[in-house]
Amino acid sequence: MRTPDRVNLVGASRAELAALLHDLDPRPYRTHQLYAWLTRRLAAGLDDMTDLPRALRAALAERAVVADPEIVDVRRGPDGTVKYALAYPDGPLVEAVAMPMEGHTTLCLSSQAGCAVGCVFCVTGVLGAGRNLTGGEIFGQYRAIMRGEGLVGASVNVVFMGMGEPLLNLPGVTRAVELLAETVSPRRITVSTSGIVPGLARLAALERRPKLAVSLNATTQEQRERLMPIAARWPLDELLAALRAFPLERGRRITFEYVMLAGINDSLDDARRLPRLLRGIPCKVNLIPLNPDERYLGGLSAPDEATISAFAGVLAAAHMNVTVRWSKGRDVAAACGQLRGQILGERAAP
């Protein structure tokens, strides 16, 4: 139960926990135990913390709660993809996805309750802006899914490719990465951006950086502005200059995501321009056929397989590392914003 006079421990720092415990049990190892239950063992509540004395748990319960976002919908697809809709107490609804991959599971988290960037191929962008999520609220998505999928203690990858633009909420994302790093190496965490150039500089300054992915989706400035209005503010040449200056640890590459839209950005001319555009950047390219949505993305569709294969072939011939990421979870509205859009649509329907 959530009450306004009790603090939520999810997302609290060690210093904040120590301050809470100061007049209850100030011994440092108690802070360590409590922090471990929240960040490593992913306890759903104080009663789960069995190595804390019962009296201490009771005293803590008068001051604090352990509250993750409420799971309001879960949809499971035949390919194993699971889409979660999660609600926060003040009303925002966000999405997160668990995707089984070869040898591991990847969790896709949201950083905002909406998105102001407005990419024309993204349901979240069509639905509009929402507030930033705190680091604890983002971490709560992870905790809820890890328990829901029976993954506590398992090795997972985490990607910030859900709702929102992570680099417009760097304080929340940075704090979430710190919490995740208790169990997930930063080398297994990826932050995806539409190209917020000042945010790239701040991300580059972090001592422990997650991996970087960039939603590119176009090979000319004019084309990118049509698909991603944010490109008018941070043009393509400025973005690429920032990426060439971005520090990469040995063996790391920048991932470029390219959502393929039939008749819009899927020509062989686009394919030939892409290697020239990215020359000199250690990278790989993920081609992502659009996951269509008739309600919100009417008129947009994915190219046929022959077109996608030809596009990929041009990149491969130019010695680029290229993969085609066929969308998982089409049966469970797993693309960004789709499940939220369905739920909002159902609520609005007579």
- Known catalytic residues? 95, 336
Q: How far is CA 128 from CA 234, 257, 261, 290, in A?
A: 20, 22, 21, 19
Answer yes or no: are the C-beta atoms of 273 and 285 closer than 8 Å: no
Provide the 10 A C-beta neighbour count for residue 18: 18
CA–CA distance, 247 with 204 (Å, rounded to integer): 6
Quick one: tokens of 349? 């329907």
- For the chain, what is the radius of gyration of the CA atoms? 21
Q: Which of 211, 213, 237, 241 is nearest to 224 (CA)?
A: 237
Residue 312 CA to residue 148 CA, distance in Å, equals 37
Tokens at 271, concatenated: 């394919």
* Segments of the chain assigned E as strands: 7-8, 64-65, 70-76, 82-87, 93-101, 104-108, 156-160, 189-193, 211-215, 254-260, 283-289, 322-324
Angle at 290 between CA 111 and CA 113, to 5 degrees: 20
Is the distance from CB of 97 to CB of 337 less than 8 angstroms?
A: no
- The Cα 246–Cα 211 span in angstroms is 11
DSSP conformation class of 168? G
- Cβ atoms of 251 and 258 closer than 8 Å: no
